[in-house]
Structure 1
């Protein structure tokens, strides 16, 4: 009996040792996964003050001018239980409308420069804040995965307001461009054209690139670990955010834009997307500017490329948008 009791205690002790070893292995792995998914889900956003100063210094935004602009406040329910806030800026005698999707860390203030571009071309503009940005609700940033569903609600709202015959386009910058392309590939997408400025082709490849650049890490084991934690915490996989995997499903025309010297999302990503896109498409590689600076540093030629794209596919003709 003494022998059996000793053996039993030995087994319990051994089991505790293995559990302790397992905990020592899993705890740091979990901590690493949580650290990197926090970086993704809760990426630091610019404050309104920081963004207004940046856009004002670059001559893109004048606060008083925007406050006095004739516009309609928009509040669109998301399918995920929060509200999307923005503005509908109308022009008389047209239903042609462009939706502006900003990038990560900023808000619709960043879209005002593009609003001015399209207003000059005679378009209504709808600019709104993505989830977890600006005035909109939502707890996490998902780099297009949930944002594409929010964009679907925005387009539905516009169709209800303007009718099925209205010409609706979507312009996205950076994460907004990824959101635009992921939405465009949905079977029920209901816009007429898309402009994607500096998107990544694959979230996985972009994260591998940033891990190498920012942390000098290969990402071979960090990314699979973070992916499992991301699925648990936010309900989707990194590989589900890949415009490259779905771009061949987009039937409508796309204008791809990227700066040649973008070192945050290399311009090769847009070149990959352009190569795989079937049907109507155009590609503009801006000669100057860093990431998301193609318009700021190539303003005149950027406007020319956008106008040429709209003219090429007859989206800028008044009768189509009336």
Structure 2
């Protein structure tokens, strides 16, 4: 019993994200930046930046990945604001300057995205909302969007297809054999987070999203293989896949080649965006 308890403690430590505090405001000229705090589940508080331009046509929520903070997607902000979108970047629980909680998980990332949406609706009024997430933040973005009907567009950067496969790759990296330990680890993690992997897997949640979805993946991603992106794209006609030069961190590539990203968000605002999205689906899959 004591051995199992120590094993669980060690496993939680191994699976806990590192925390990188945010120590300074973004250095973005001509942008109005405000530090904001808002509540999420379990009475925790999240911290973020609210960046605005002139005559915004909508709002974008940016969600970072595991072990990162809101600064990770900062390179996307100038082009989004220039294109007429106000931007909310925030730290999920146990990340950046947001509150600590008992554990982190992709569903908890999604809860924090819901809290960010609620803050926008309560403080900025009803306005088109687009969601952009990276890695685990991308998977959480897909999960959050699959449960709502008030999202205008979703952009997924470097999402995995299924958390079980992601966990299995982690087990291999740690040298943990799948039988019996790896099998037990997967069951234990599902019990702790309160969800079966199948019910929150992007391959499933993507099919339940009603708004246009843009999937972006690096052609040299060594963290989440490109095959995951093709698997996701094959599950629905509502998603466009764009393969870009680069690895797991796509912000430099997207910042340099963001014209299609901006066009995708702009088209999503139009009444006939669904038909236009279907046409775009048949185009080449490289930015």
Q: Cα offset for 1:247? A: 1.5
Q: Give the TM-score taking structure 1 as reference length.
A: 0.75
1:45 maps to which residue? Answer: 19
- 1:66 and 1:180 map into 2 onto residues whose CA distance is 25
Change (3 A) 1:245 1:215: same
Alignment of 1:217 with 2:176, yes or no, is: yes
2:10 maps to which residue? Answer: 35
- Among 129, 136, 145, the residue aligned to 1:184: 145
Structure showing the higher helix proportion among its residues: 1
Alignment of 1:197 with 2:154, yes or no, is: no
1:307 maps to which residue? Answer: 262
- 1:235 and 1:179 map into 2 onto residues whose CA distance is 15
- 1:305 and 1:222 map into 2 onto residues whose CA distance is 45
Rg larger in 1 or in 2? 1
Q: Cα offset for 1:295? A: 3.1
Q: How does 1:105-120 map to 2 (within 5 A)?
A: 105-120=67-82
1:123 maps to which residue? Answer: 85
Higher mean C-alpha deviation, range 304-313 or range 174-183: 304-313
Change (3 A) 1:67 1:240: farther
- 1:83 and 1:35 map into 2 onto residues whose CA distance is 27
Q: Cα offset for 1:257? A: 0.4
Q: How does 1:225-264 map to 2 (within 5 A)?
A: 225-230=184-189, 233-264=192-223
Q: How does 1:28-107 map to 2 (within 5 A)?
A: 28-40=3-15, 42-46=16-20, 48=22, 65-66=27-28, 69-107=31-69
- 1:189 and 1:37 map into 2 onto residues whose CA distance is 34
Contact 2:131–2:151 (Cα < 8 Å) also in 1: yes
Q: Cα offset for 1:238? A: 4.5
> C-alpha root-mean-square deviation of aligned residues, in Å?
2.7
Q: How does 1:118-157 map to 2 (within 5 A)?
A: 118-157=80-119
Change (3 A) 1:233 1:184: closer
